[in-house]
Amino acid sequence: KQEVTQIPAALSVPEGENLVLNCSFTDSAIYNLQWFRQDPGKGLTSLLLIQSSQREQTSGRLNASLDKSSGRSTLYIAASQPGDSATYLCAVSAGNQFYFGTGTSLTVIP
């Protein structure tokens, strides 16, 4: 069974800092990997989706990379802002299943 791990579980950074969130998965046979953001009491908002044939995707200050062979993905956030404070989850799609990590709780301090 696919296992998805996110490290660290929590991260606190000062505003303006660049940061990297990590996601690792145990089985490289995936269709895609998605990064989500979850605000308290809300559902998940899709940030970036990387197909298995792709190496990275970018949207504004966000850049996600995928290395299938090593079972790793990173989410890079440039020039962090207090509004970026949320829980970030990664999910891999394999077969008919989505497997989610437990998330990284990010706090950006003004």
Task: Give me the residues that bind another protein (CB under 8 A), please.
Answer: 31-32, 34, 36, 41-46, 49, 51, 89, 91, 93, 95-98, 100-103
Count, residues in the chain: 110
For 21-34, b/e burial (b = at least 16 CB within 10 A) is bebbbeeeebebbb
- Opening angle at CA 75, ends 39 and 99, nearest 5: 70
Please report how close the Cβ of residue 16 comes to another protein at its closest, in angstroms.
29
Which one, 14 or 73, has the nearer CB to another protein? Answer: 73
Q: How far apart are CA 64 and CA 72, in angstroms?
A: 11
Please report how close the Cβ of residue 89 comes to another protein at its closest, in angstroms.
7
Which one, 18 or 51, has the nearer CB to another protein? Answer: 51
Which one, 77 or 94, has the nearer CB to another protein? Answer: 94
Which one, 25 or 36, has the nearer CB to another protein? Answer: 36
Please report how close the Cβ of residue 7 comes to another protein at its closest, in angstroms.
14
Pairing of strands 32-38, 19-25: unpaired
